Structure 1
Amino acid sequence: MYGRVGVAWNPQNGRYVHGQYLNLLGNALGGRLEEGDYLEPTLKLNIVKPSAEDPTKPWFQFVITPSMFSNNGSFIGAFANNFTNQLRIELFQAYLETGNLLPDLKLWVGQRFYRGSDVHIADYFFFNQLNSQGFGLKYKALDVAVLLKTGGGQYSTTVDDSNRTVARQRTVLVGQYVLPVMEKHSVHFLGEFHLLPANRANIGGEALQPSDIGYVAGVKGRLDLGNGSFNELSARVGGGIANGAFGASSTWDTQGRPDEDGKYGGALGLEFVDHFLYNVNPMLTLNAYALFQRSAGASGESTDWSANFATGVRSFVYFTDRFHLINEASFQAVTFGLPEDAETPPLPWQAKFSIAPTLVPSGERSAWARPHLRFIYTLAYYSEGAREAYTSGPLAGRTTYFNQFGPRTFGHYLGVRSEWWF
């Protein structure tokens, strides 16, 4: 189970700040200490238990993960937040998995968290975030899957006078291989192929939207630095309809606009991530990340691209086994394509600093120790470009801190929160 619950205030006025990200894009890139309430229990039913006496014996298990969170960012409590209208419950996982039908072979079918690389302090699963419905198999270091995605946006269009829409179904073929290097280290290879069929009003009818394809190639290296320390460095490129690489998007979140034929053949998305954790000594741990993302559509227009850079570092100072001081500093800048004759506006950027005295009941001196009882204060500074971009530019309409408090130079957050996993 993973969960976080608490309360928060804004020292400036009476509007609620609970669950309001202070970051530019309305997500946790740039720091997550202000995240709202969330509960995610995972239930596992062992239909046939793995055998400790005979590790080659076949086993079957069913996994289900519901999640619960507030729909307006305020409070998760049934009596505090108009339960029937604002509390949202979703199903994140429901799959059946079996192992050892053949030696070293696992099979799964259903909806699952199909991912692995996580920058926890930015709440971002990078490189291979492929949560979806489908089926797959894993044999030793080889992992392959077939996934399906449906939805709005470029997946559907109005096809008749009655405003009927036809949803298109994207098929994603995934292959991954983890190559061990000198026992402690590894290199992770990723490949994806995306296929989106033509959208037709009826069988044999004219295509209202053409078929399209996309591809992804990526590589991630992991260095084990000993004593729980590591460094992960990844690079990923996606083309065509698989160019999603902006904000917290997945590769199938196609970015930008199509060409004049309605296709994304020239679209491109790039992502580079470095994730680092170092246990300096029994008194200090450092956890840091830096990421750069750039997505461009297929239209060829000077406005059809966007880029995002975010970096942050969190320190854990272990004053005692049960009293830790968390400090976090982060920086984020975004930029978007402009008309060729436009003057370059000020760059939208922000800087944040958080301090969080933390009680740790387990007494474990680790960045991964949970549960936490945190007292949090965050101060954010927003550049002139960030304020302008929200008022009348490309950040307008995004769910950010500015939605509640308007464009301003400084943002404040004061909270008392718990976080746990087990």
Structure 2
Amino acid sequence: MNSMRNCALAFAASCLAPAAAEALEYEGYIRSGAGISTGSESQSCFKLPGASSKYRLGNECEQLAELGAYHDFMKLGDGSRVGLYGMAQLYNEYDHTPRFTGEYGQTRLVQGYAYWHDIAALNGGSLWAGRRYYKRNAIDISDFFYWNQSGTGAGIEDVEIDGLRYSYFFSRKDSFDQERYINRHDFNVAGFKTGSWGELELGVSYIEEPKWVDAHSGWAVTAQHKKENFMGWGGGNTFAVQYGAGPGVALGSTGPTDYDRGNVSLRVVEFFDWQATRRFGGQFQMVYQRDKRRYDGNQDWYSIGGRTVYGLSEQWKLATELGHDRVEADDGTRKLTKLTIAPTWSPNGPTFRKAHPEVRFYITYAVWNRAAQRAADELAPDSALSSTGTFGSDRHGANIGVQLEHSW
């Protein structure tokens, strides 16, 4: 009873003596470009059917901007902050007038939530509610958000107890693409020290059974380990293992609700950055995913690749990216290999990270096998790998283009 009373008093005290509001703050991200291909005037991007991502250097076919702003309306006596955050997203595919709406584009409010950060009674934890990019873990060179708990709902985040950080999120909707509301619960515990090896985080997702016919509940678990200054190379290493069943096969988000527990997915992720010298850095990744489906067939996805960045001068660097994807499915083994060489103007320095803006002049070449083409004809007609796409019946092709990428 005393601990509950003390906690209530601490919450009350935190509401006293509010300070003046802070100024409106801005952040954002933009990538924009143009390109042509050897098959036609239109650039077409290379992605293997059945793979969950693609290597993105010189292989992105959209204009994208995300513009965010946040404002602390109040700073309370315990140092906590109350405010609002919002982000608009503008998206448009290449070779279409950038109206950011209709069949080839969109304009959306991808984030909009209220927050109460750094609450003393929660040992620095936070409360929030709304639509949010929440605990998104991604591999940069492939834009693969392998553990992404984003959604619309409310949560309590990073409450520290005995050196561990506890978070809980209740969501109803993952994204605009989810047509129906589905209850999902995400529980995370971070801060398990592994000595000099780094830190471990554990997560559990539970998806309630929806109230319509032929729907099922599901679950997923994730264990993720991170180490800074991996091998003394200045970057970080991440290793993650994920397993899910039923609608939990999305491994952190909400999968198809008609999947029962006989549908499972296993994923192993390993990637690391390096910045061995100021002029030599990059990132390497390996992904394995096993999907077992009761009626849709099984498949294994393997992905291995890397990007190296070498500074030719203080403002010019050479980026090279090589990636290989392989999907073993019931209809055969699909293969795709992509190579990009990109001289890059980087006015903020030659490093791999924290060097935006970047202007990349790239040549991308890809080659794929007949099984990949057959799968593209069935699953992604008119895509780059299909026989009705930019490169026709050929099983190789190239793109040439320029791209600006910047974040602030």
Specify the TM-score bucket, using the shorter chain as the normaliser: 0.7 to 0.9
Alpha-carbon separation, structure 1, partners of 2:33 and 2:364: 15
Counterparts of 2:64 and 2:329 in 1: how far apart (Å)?
32
Which among 37, 40, 45 is matched to residue 71 of structure 2?
A: 45
CA RMSD across the alignment? 2.7
- Verify: 1:74 aligned to 2:86, yes or no: no
Counterparts of 1:322-341 in structure 2, within 5 Å, are 322-337=315-330
Q: How does 1:303-318 map to 2 (within 5 A)?
A: 303-318=296-311
In 2: Cα distance, 1:324 partner to 1:60 partner: 42
Q: 1:160-213, CA deviations, whole angstroms, 9 ceiling, x for partnerless residues?
A: xxxxxxx753111111111233377110101111102231xxxxxxxxx14521
Cα 1:239/1:398, change in 2 over 3 Å: farther
Residue in structure 2 matched with residue 239 of structure 1 by the alignment: 245
Instruction: Report the secondary structure of 1:3's partner residue.
Output: strand
Aligned partner of 2:210 among 190, 197, 201: 197
AA aligned opposite 1:222:
K
User: Match for 1:61: what amino acid?
Assistant: G
TM-score by length of 1: 0.79
Partner of 2:227: 223
- 1:284 and 2:313 correspond: no
Distance in 1 separating the partners of 2:329 and 2:356:
39
1:22–1:411 CA contact under 8 A, matched in 2: no
Query: For 2:138 and 2:51, how far apart are their aligned partners in 1?
Result: 15
1:358–1:374: 8 Å Cα contact kept in structure 2? yes
Corresponding position of 1:143: 167
How far does residue 229 in structure 1 lie from its aligned partner after superposition?
A: 1.1
* Preserved contact between residue 68 and residue 88 of structure 1 (Cα < 8 Å): yes
Closer/same/farther in 2, CA of residues 31 and 168 from structure 1, 3 Å limit:
closer
Indicate conservation of the 8 Å contact 1:26/1:400, yes or no.
Answer: no
| Alignment-derived partner of residue 63 in structure 1 | 85
- Counterparts of residues 13-412 of structure 1 (less than 5 Å): 13-14=40-41, 16-17=42-43, 20-25=44-49, 29-33=53-57, 34-35=59-60, 36-49=62-75, 56-70=78-92, 72-75=93-96, 77=98, 86-101=104-119, 102=121, 103-126=123-146, 128-138=147-157, 139-140=159-160, 141-149=165-173, 168-178=180-190, 179-182=192-195, 185-199=198-212, 209-224=213-228, 225=230, 226=232, 228-244=234-250, 251-254=253-256, 258=259, 264-297=260-293, 299=294, 301=295, 303-337=296-330, 345=332, 347-391=333-377, 393=378, 395-397=379-381, 399-402=383-386, 403-412=389-398
Matched residue SS, 1:387:
helix
Separation (CA, whole Å) in 1 of partners of 2:110 and 2:50: 21
8 Å contact kept, 1:198–1:212 = no
> Would you say the 8 A contact 1:29–1:310 is kept in 2?
no
Name which of structure 1's ranges 306-315 and 107-116 shifts more when overlaid on structure 2: 306-315
Greater fraction of residues in helix: 2
- State the alpha-carbon separation in 2 of the partners of residues 235 and 285 from structure 1: 26
Partners in 1 of 2:37 and 2:209 — Cα distance? 46
Aligned-pair distance for 1:363?
2.1
In structure 2, how many angstroms separate the alpha carbons of the residues matched to 1:28 and 1:243?
A: 13
Shift >6 Å, 4+ stretches: 150-153
For residues 380 and 80 of structure 2, the distance between their equivalents in structure 1, rounded to whole angstroms, comes to 54
Offset of residue 89 of structure 1: 0.5
Alpha-carbon distance, 1:272 to partner: 0.7
Offset of residue 243 of structure 1: 1.4
Preserved contact between residue 233 and residue 276 of structure 2 (Cα < 8 Å):
no
Give the TM-score, by structure 2 length: 0.82
Change beyond 3 A, Cα 1:84–1:118: closer
2:39 partner SS: coil
- Residues 328-382 of structure 1 deviation map (CA, whole Å, 9 limit, x = unaligned): 00001113235xxxxxx4x210111100000111125233311001101100011
Distance 1:241 1:21, change over 3 A: same
Helix, strand or coil for the counterpart of 2:341?
strand
Matching residue's letter, 1:254: P
State the distance in 1 between where 2:55 and 2:301 align.
14
Partner SS for 1:315:
strand
Aligned match of 1:420: 406
Q: Structure 2: 5+ residue runs without aligned partners? A: 1-27
Q: Letter of the 2:289 partner, please give it.
A: Q
Change (3 A) 1:190 1:267: same
Stretches of structure 1 that go unaligned for 5 or more consecutive residues are 156-166, 200-208, 259-263, 339-344
C-alpha distance in 2 between matches for 1:27 and 1:399: 14
Structure 2 partner of 1:203: none
Contact preservation (8 Å) 1:189, 1:219 = yes
Which amino acid counterpart does residue 256 of structure 2 have in structure 1?
A: T
Q: 1:233 to 1:398 in 2, by over 3 A?
A: farther
Question: Identity percentage over the alignment?
Answer: 18
Q: Counterpart of 1:129 in structure 2: which amino acid? A: N
Matches within 5 A, 1:1-20: 1-14=28-41, 16-17=42-43, 20=44
Structure 2 letter corresponding to 1:32: R
Secondary structure of the residue that 1:42 maps to in structure 2? strand
> In 2, Cα distance between the equivalents of 1:61 and 1:94?
11
Give distance in 1, aligned partners of 2:175 and 2:279.
48
Contact preservation (8 Å) 1:30, 1:310: no
Contact 2:246 2:255 (C-alpha < 8 Å) held by counterparts: no
